[in-house]
Homo-oligomer: A and B are copies of this chain.
Amino acid sequence: MILPGDGIGPEIVEQAVAVLEAADKKFNLGLSFEQGLIGGASIDAHGEPLTDAQLAAAGECDAVLLGAVGGPKWDTLEREIRPEKGLLKIRSKLGLYANLRPAILYPQLADASSLKPEVVSGLDILIVRELTGGIYFGEPRGIRTLENGEKQGFNTYVYSESEIERIARTAFEAAQKRGGKLCSVDKANVLEVTVLWREVLDRLAPEYPDVELSHMYVDNAAMQLVRAPKQFDVMVTGNMFGDILSDAAAMLTGSIGMLPSASLNESGFGLYEPCHGSAPDIAGQGIANPLATILSAAMMLRYSLDMGEAADAIEQAVSKVLDEGLRTADIHTEGCKKVSTAEMGAAVVAAF
């Protein structure tokens, strides 16, 4: 299922679909696509950010490729029908608890980082974020009026052992396939819910003797990401901390327009989307970077469709166009060739 969404979503997804079609032709994958609505696009059509029919249709596909949701047009709506709710609903209802967010510095783009080259060159972190629990979905929640007449807002940060265990296993397994290091991020010196988090991680650790588990408080993790990010291999954390840390980590590379993400359920079904947002300020101008979405499509082939060869080919094609010096505006530097969204997509197709 293809869900372009809002802002630059449709433009970048169009290029990713073109790349998937090229891969389909070359590798005989037998792909077929359905298009659907999410976010503001769905609000405009149906008055809500994700209809139950759309949700069901997405769940029946083998995977979902999403652009991005949101924009100023819908910012004044009631909170319950904002574009973001569509994203939260599809994550939650399809049980996509495992959010994988790589932060990789492409050597061709080393200059784009705001950090010194020696601090980030070769950076390759995977952040594993729990995506269907924690304070994002905890009850009770709301705004109430106290006896003295003033309002009070409240949310609940909650995790059960089984929720922690399944995301922990995802992270341990990812670490086994990578550098063998897992850093779990919590605030166990203050928050009981993360005391339990730490306990569960420690309990599972002996089952993964080839993984070196460490724990870090979230404030320190934010510091260490800025100070010396290459100390990390895989990081695992809850929904809220993961939201913050994965964005910080992505920005270390200076090219968030390059970073894909996957959100998986128990059975490997997944939703794939770029780490960046809908960028309404540049929507419709044809200048957005489609590479994060194209790389998300590659992740989709690899993780949900078991088409690793085609995924490799897409990633190599992306690397080749970067080697050739093609750059969209967000990653452009002196001496490179500035190209449009469509030109970048076409170049990836041509590099196959």
Residues of chain A whose beta carbon lies under 8 Å from any beta carbon of chain B: 70, 79, 82, 84, 88, 114-116, 119, 135-136, 138, 141-143, 146, 150-162, 187, 189-197, 218-220, 222-223, 225-228, 240-241, 243-248, 250-252, 254, 256
Contact = CB atoms under 8 A, between A and B. Distances in A.
Contacts of A220: 247
A222 B246 CA distance: 9
B193 A154 contact: yes
10 contacts: A115-B116, A136-B190, A143-B192, A153-B158, A153-B194, A154-B158, A222-B222, A223-B247, A223-B248, A227-B251
A16 B115 CA distance: 33
A21 to B, nearest CB: 33
Contact of A222 (B157, B194, B248): B248
Contacts of A141: 191-192
A243 B226 contact: no
A145 to B, nearest CB: 10
Contacts of A114: 115-116, 119, 226-228
A154 B152 contact: no
A157 B160 contact: no
Given A153-B197, A187-B240, 20 more contacts: A88-B190, A114-B116, A114-B226, A115-B226, A116-B116, A135-B191, A136-B190, A138-B154, A141-B192, A142-B192, A143-B192, A153-B160, A153-B193, A153-B194, A219-B246, A220-B247, A222-B244, A222-B245, A222-B248, A223-B250
A193 B154 CA distance: 5
Contacts of A222: 222, 244-245, 247-248, 251
Given A114-B115, A247-B222, A153 B196 contact: yes
A243 B218 contact: yes
Contact of A151 (B161, B219, B226, B246): B161
Secondary structure dominating the interface of A: helix
Given A227-B114, A244-B222, A248-B226, A156 B159 contact: no
A274 to B, nearest CB: 14
Contacts of A142: 192
Nearest to A150: B161
Contacts of A254: 227
B151 A192 contact: no
A178 B214 CA distance: 41
B157 A82 contact: no
Given A195-B143, A219-B247, A247-B220, A161 B152 contact: yes
A218 B241 CA distance: 10
A338 to B, nearest CB: 20
B150 A162 contact: yes
Contacts of A223: 247-248, 250-251, 256
Contact of A189 (B82, B160, B196): B82
Contact of A219 (B152, B194, B243): B243
